[in-house]
Amino acid sequence: MIKGIHHISMKCNTEEELSKVKDFYLSVLGLKIIREWPGGIMIDTGNGLIEIFTNAEGERRLGAIRHFALLTDNVDELTEKVRNAGYEVIVEPSDKVIRSDPEYPIRMAFCFGPLGEQIEFFCER
């Protein structure tokens, strides 16, 4: 039985990239490392993990998975933190209503992370 998503995984291949990953996810977004081993780290998002392998070349292309979304109460604040840290915001914060049944009001924004990953900041309204 599926209980949820345990983690997403990304790769970096230099100490410089790993340093940027740690700065972005820990300092800018305020997340914490919960596990570290030779060749990898796991960062806690509150309801899932981001796993970063530090011992292999990374992939720099978008595949079937376009982005991952981090749930937040304040899309605008996170977007400004990311922008102030020098990262590219690719979709500015905006309110949307997903035309589902029932309708699903949200606030969202997108940025690129330190490994080129697309990250959505997502708030349910």
In this prediction, residue 53 carries a pLDDT of: 84
Find out whether 10 and 56 touch, Cβ atoms under 8 Å: no
30: left (phi over 0), alpha (psi -120 to 50) or beta: left
Strands of 89-98's sheet in order across:
68-71, 118-124, 104-112, 89-98
In this prediction, residue 89 carries a pLDDT of: 98
User: Quick one: fold of 7-124?
Assistant: 2,3-Dihydroxybiphenyl 1,2-Dioxygenase; domain 1 (3.10.180)
Strand pairing report for 49-53 and 118-124: unpaired
**What letter would DSSP give residue 23?**
I
In this prediction, residue 54 carries a pLDDT of: 80
In this prediction, residue 72 carries a pLDDT of: 94
In this prediction, residue 44 carries a pLDDT of: 96
Sequence spans of domains, the chain: 7-124
In the predicted model, residues of the chain with pLDDT beneath 70 are 2, 56-64
